[in-house]
A and B are shown apart, each in its own frame.
Chain A
Amino acid sequence: DTGVSQDPRHKITKRGQNVTFRCDPISEHNRLYWYRQTLGQGPEFLTYFQNEAQLEKSRLLSDRFSAERPKGSFSTLEIQRTEQGDSAMYLCASTGQSQYGYTFGSGTRLTVV
Protein backbone atom coordinates (compact mmCIF):
# COMPACT_ATOMS: atom_id res chain seq x y z
CA ASP A 1 0.00 0.00 0.00
CA THR A 2 1.57 3.27 -1.10
CA GLY A 3 -1.04 5.62 0.34
CA VAL A 4 -1.01 7.71 3.50
CA SER A 5 -1.58 5.60 6.61
CA GLN A 6 -2.96 6.80 9.90
CA ASP A 7 -3.19 4.97 13.17
CA PRO A 8 -5.40 4.45 15.06
CA ARG A 9 -8.56 4.80 12.99
CA HIS A 10 -10.65 5.50 16.06
CA LYS A 11 -9.77 6.62 19.56
CA ILE A 12 -12.12 7.10 22.50
CA THR A 13 -10.53 8.70 25.51
CA LYS A 14 -11.58 10.24 28.76
CA ARG A 15 -11.26 13.95 29.26
CA GLY A 16 -7.87 14.83 30.65
CA GLN A 17 -6.02 11.91 29.11
CA ASN A 18 -3.22 12.25 26.58
CA VAL A 19 -3.48 10.75 23.12
CA THR A 20 -1.00 10.28 20.29
CA PHE A 21 -1.74 9.70 16.63
CA ARG A 22 0.64 8.51 13.94
CA CYS A 23 0.83 9.30 10.25
CA ASP A 24 2.95 7.54 7.63
CA PRO A 25 2.99 9.61 4.44
CA ILE A 26 3.67 8.38 0.94
CA SER A 27 7.36 7.52 1.07
CA GLU A 28 8.57 9.93 -1.61
CA HIS A 29 6.53 12.86 -0.27
CA ASN A 30 8.58 15.35 1.72
CA ARG A 31 5.70 17.59 2.79
CA LEU A 32 3.28 16.52 5.51
CA TYR A 33 0.24 18.31 6.87
CA TRP A 34 -2.10 17.77 9.79
CA TYR A 35 -5.70 18.93 9.57
CA ARG A 36 -8.69 18.73 11.87
CA GLN A 37 -12.25 18.34 10.65
CA THR A 38 -15.46 18.62 12.60
CA LEU A 39 -18.94 17.73 11.41
CA GLY A 40 -20.23 19.99 8.68
CA GLN A 41 -16.94 21.81 8.25
CA GLY A 42 -14.05 21.54 5.87
CA PRO A 43 -10.61 20.46 7.09
CA GLU A 44 -8.82 23.14 9.14
CA PHE A 45 -5.06 23.42 8.94
CA LEU A 46 -3.05 22.56 12.06
CA THR A 47 0.59 22.22 11.10
CA TYR A 48 3.00 21.60 8.22
CA PHE A 49 6.34 19.81 7.94
CA GLN A 50 8.84 19.92 5.15
CA ASN A 51 11.07 16.94 5.77
CA GLU A 52 11.72 17.03 9.53
CA ALA A 53 11.25 20.79 9.91
CA GLN A 54 7.96 22.06 11.30
CA LEU A 55 7.52 25.20 9.23
CA GLU A 56 4.02 26.30 10.14
CA LYS A 57 1.70 26.01 13.12
CA SER A 58 -1.87 27.22 13.27
CA ARG A 59 -3.18 29.05 16.31
CA LEU A 60 -5.56 26.08 16.53
CA LEU A 61 -2.52 24.13 17.70
CA SER A 62 -2.66 25.24 21.32
CA ASP A 63 0.07 24.44 23.83
CA ARG A 64 -1.69 21.14 24.51
CA PHE A 65 -0.93 20.02 20.98
CA SER A 66 2.47 18.99 19.71
CA ALA A 67 3.57 17.43 16.46
CA GLU A 68 6.84 15.88 15.43
CA ARG A 69 8.42 14.38 12.38
CA PRO A 70 11.81 13.37 13.74
CA LYS A 71 13.35 11.67 10.72
CA GLY A 72 11.37 13.32 8.01
CA SER A 73 9.28 10.21 7.48
CA PHE A 74 6.36 9.42 9.81
CA SER A 75 4.80 12.07 12.04
CA THR A 76 3.04 12.03 15.38
CA LEU A 77 0.43 14.39 16.76
CA GLU A 78 -0.02 14.42 20.52
CA ILE A 79 -2.84 16.04 22.44
CA GLN A 80 -2.32 16.46 26.15
CA ARG A 81 -5.11 16.88 28.71
CA THR A 82 -7.80 16.25 26.12
CA GLU A 83 -11.00 18.27 26.22
CA GLN A 84 -14.40 17.47 24.75
CA GLY A 85 -13.83 20.18 22.18
CA ASP A 86 -10.92 18.16 20.80
CA SER A 87 -13.35 15.57 19.47
CA ALA A 88 -12.89 15.61 15.71
CA MET A 89 -11.41 13.77 12.77
CA TYR A 90 -7.66 14.33 12.56
CA LEU A 91 -6.43 14.06 9.01
CA CYS A 92 -2.90 13.74 7.75
CA ALA A 93 -1.97 14.62 4.17
CA SER A 94 1.22 14.56 2.16
CA THR A 95 2.46 16.02 -1.09
CA GLY A 96 5.59 15.70 -3.15
CA GLN A 97 7.64 18.08 -5.23
CA SER A 98 4.93 18.56 -7.81
CA GLN A 99 2.61 20.04 -5.16
CA TYR A 100 -0.35 19.00 -7.24
CA GLY A 101 -2.85 18.19 -4.53
CA TYR A 102 -3.03 16.53 -1.17
CA THR A 103 -3.26 12.81 -0.60
CA PHE A 104 -5.08 12.31 2.65
CA GLY A 105 -4.95 9.40 5.03
CA SER A 106 -8.15 7.82 6.30
CA GLY A 107 -7.96 9.91 9.43
CA THR A 108 -8.14 9.27 13.15
CA ARG A 109 -11.54 9.91 14.67
CA LEU A 110 -11.12 11.12 18.24
CA THR A 111 -13.97 11.09 20.73
CA VAL A 112 -13.36 12.64 24.12
CA VAL A 113 -15.90 11.57 26.74
Chain B
Amino acid sequence: RKEVEQDPGPFNVPEGATVAFNCTYSNSASQSFFWYRQDCRKEPKLLMSVYSSGNEDGRFTAQLNRASQYISLLIRDSKLSDSATYLCVVRGEGTGGFKTIFGAGTRLFVKA
Protein backbone atom coordinates (compact mmCIF):
# COMPACT_ATOMS: atom_id res chain seq x y z
CA ARG B 1 0.00 0.00 0.00
CA LYS B 2 1.33 3.45 -0.92
CA GLU B 3 1.78 5.92 1.91
CA VAL B 4 -0.28 8.54 0.09
CA GLU B 5 -2.86 7.46 -2.45
CA GLN B 6 -4.82 9.52 -4.91
CA ASP B 7 -7.18 8.69 -7.74
CA PRO B 8 -5.10 9.56 -10.82
CA GLY B 9 -8.18 10.58 -12.80
CA PRO B 10 -8.41 12.24 -15.16
CA PHE B 11 -11.46 14.15 -14.06
CA ASN B 12 -13.11 15.81 -17.05
CA VAL B 13 -15.60 18.47 -16.00
CA PRO B 14 -17.36 21.36 -17.72
CA GLU B 15 -16.73 24.94 -16.72
CA GLY B 16 -18.74 25.92 -13.69
CA ALA B 17 -18.90 22.41 -12.28
CA THR B 18 -17.98 21.43 -8.74
CA VAL B 19 -15.35 18.72 -8.44
CA ALA B 20 -13.87 16.97 -5.42
CA PHE B 21 -10.69 14.98 -4.95
CA ASN B 22 -9.83 12.69 -2.09
CA CYS B 23 -6.48 11.50 -0.82
CA THR B 24 -5.79 8.80 1.75
CA TYR B 25 -2.67 8.39 3.85
CA SER B 26 -1.37 5.44 5.83
CA ASN B 27 0.67 7.02 8.63
CA SER B 28 -1.61 7.98 11.47
CA ALA B 29 1.21 10.05 13.02
CA SER B 30 1.22 12.49 10.09
CA GLN B 31 1.21 16.09 11.25
CA SER B 32 0.70 18.43 8.32
CA PHE B 33 -1.24 18.23 5.12
CA PHE B 34 -1.14 20.23 1.92
CA TRP B 35 -2.50 20.44 -1.59
CA TYR B 36 -0.13 21.46 -4.38
CA ARG B 37 -1.04 22.31 -7.94
CA GLN B 38 1.22 21.29 -10.81
CA ASP B 39 0.74 22.49 -14.37
CA CYS B 40 2.04 20.39 -17.22
CA ARG B 41 5.87 20.33 -17.26
CA LYS B 42 6.04 22.92 -14.48
CA GLU B 43 7.03 22.75 -10.84
CA PRO B 44 4.50 22.05 -8.07
CA LYS B 45 3.13 25.13 -6.34
CA LEU B 46 1.56 25.24 -2.92
CA LEU B 47 -2.20 25.64 -3.22
CA MET B 48 -3.26 25.45 0.40
CA SER B 49 -2.69 23.80 3.74
CA VAL B 50 -5.32 21.49 5.17
CA TYR B 51 -6.54 21.85 8.72
CA SER B 52 -8.79 19.64 10.82
CA SER B 53 -11.31 22.43 11.04
CA GLY B 54 -11.38 22.75 7.28
CA ASN B 55 -10.25 25.81 5.39
CA GLU B 56 -11.44 27.75 2.42
CA ASP B 57 -9.66 29.96 -0.07
CA GLY B 58 -12.04 31.43 -2.60
CA ARG B 59 -13.45 28.61 -4.69
CA PHE B 60 -11.24 26.01 -2.99
CA THR B 61 -12.11 24.15 0.20
CA ALA B 62 -9.83 21.65 1.89
CA GLN B 63 -10.77 19.28 4.69
CA LEU B 64 -8.99 16.74 6.83
CA ASN B 65 -10.50 13.66 8.44
CA ARG B 66 -7.91 12.28 10.85
CA ALA B 67 -10.07 9.38 11.98
CA SER B 68 -10.42 8.04 8.47
CA GLN B 69 -7.02 9.33 7.36
CA TYR B 70 -8.09 11.19 4.30
CA ILE B 71 -8.01 14.74 3.04
CA SER B 72 -10.16 16.32 0.39
CA LEU B 73 -10.12 19.24 -2.00
CA LEU B 74 -13.30 20.76 -3.36
CA ILE B 75 -13.26 23.16 -6.28
CA ARG B 76 -16.42 25.12 -6.95
CA ASP B 77 -17.32 26.94 -10.17
CA SER B 78 -14.44 25.34 -12.09
CA LYS B 79 -12.50 27.53 -14.49
CA LEU B 80 -10.53 26.50 -17.55
CA SER B 81 -7.43 27.68 -15.69
CA ASP B 82 -8.03 25.10 -12.97
CA SER B 83 -6.88 22.38 -15.38
CA ALA B 84 -3.81 20.90 -13.73
CA THR B 85 -2.60 18.01 -11.62
CA TYR B 86 -3.38 18.29 -7.91
CA LEU B 87 -0.85 16.70 -5.56
CA CYS B 88 -1.72 15.65 -2.04
CA VAL B 89 1.18 16.03 0.42
CA VAL B 90 1.43 14.52 3.88
CA ARG B 91 4.18 15.42 6.33
CA GLY B 92 5.31 13.88 9.59
CA GLU B 93 6.94 15.63 12.47
CA GLY B 94 10.22 17.39 11.83
CA THR B 95 11.86 19.21 9.00
CA GLY B 96 13.43 16.36 7.05
CA GLY B 97 12.43 15.17 3.63
CA PHE B 98 11.73 11.53 4.44
CA LYS B 99 8.57 12.40 6.25
CA THR B 100 7.14 14.54 3.47
CA ILE B 101 5.33 12.29 1.04
CA PHE B 102 3.79 13.40 -2.22
CA GLY B 103 0.93 11.58 -3.85
CA ALA B 104 1.09 10.82 -7.55
CA GLY B 105 -1.53 13.45 -8.27
CA THR B 106 -5.03 13.73 -9.67
CA ARG B 107 -5.40 15.22 -13.13
CA LEU B 108 -8.21 17.66 -13.78
CA PHE B 109 -9.38 18.88 -17.17
CA VAL B 110 -11.93 21.65 -17.22
CA LYS B 111 -13.60 22.07 -20.60
CA ALA B 112 -15.58 24.94 -22.09
* Residue ID in chain A nearest B35 by CB atoms: A101
Decide yes or no whether A48 CB sits under 8 A from chain B: yes
- CB pair B42–A106 under 8 Å, yes or no, is yes
Residues of B within 8 A of A109 (CB): 41
Interface size class of B (residues with CB under 8 A): 20 to 34
Residues of A within 8 A of B103 (CB): 42
Q: If the complex has contacts A101-B46, A107-B43, are A56 and B104 also in contact, measured as CB distance less than 8 A?
A: no
Tell me the complex Cα distance, A32–B52, Å. 28
- CB pair B98–A58 under 8 Å, yes or no, is yes
Within 8 A of A (CB), among B6-39: 8, 34, 36
Residues of A within 8 A of B45 (CB): 104
- CB pair B49–A100 under 8 Å, yes or no, is yes
- CB pair B43–A106 under 8 Å, yes or no, is yes
Q: Which residues of B contact A (CB under 8 A)?
A: 4, 8, 34, 36, 41-46, 49, 87, 89, 95-98, 100, 102-105
- CB pair B43–A33 under 8 Å, yes or no, is no
- CB pair A104–B102 under 8 Å, yes or no, is no
- CB pair B98–A102 under 8 Å, yes or no, is no
- Selected from A40, A48, A101, the residue in CB contact (under 8 A) with B49 is A101
Query: Shortest Cβ distance from A24 into chain B, in angstroms?
Result: 14
Query: Shortest Cβ distance from B112 into chain A, in angstroms?
Result: 26
Decide yes or no whether A82 CB sits under 8 A from chain B: no
Q: If the complex has contacts A104-B44, A105-B43, are A42 and B96 also in contact, measured as CB distance less than 8 A?
A: no
Decide yes or no whether A70 CB sits under 8 A from chain B: no
Q: If the complex has contacts A33-B97, A95-B95, A101-B34, are A42 and B87 also in contact, measured as CB distance less than 8 A?
A: yes
Residues of B within 8 A of A45 (CB): 97-98, 100
Decide yes or no whether A26 CB sits under 8 A from chain B: no
Query: Shortest Cβ distance from A105 into chain B, in angstroms?
Result: 6
Residues of B within 8 A of A50 (CB): 95
Residues of B within 8 A of A95 (CB): 95
- CB pair B87–A48 under 8 Å, yes or no, is no
Q: If the complex has contacts A100-B49, A104-B45, A106-B43, are A40 and B95 also in contact, measured as CB distance less than 8 A?
A: no
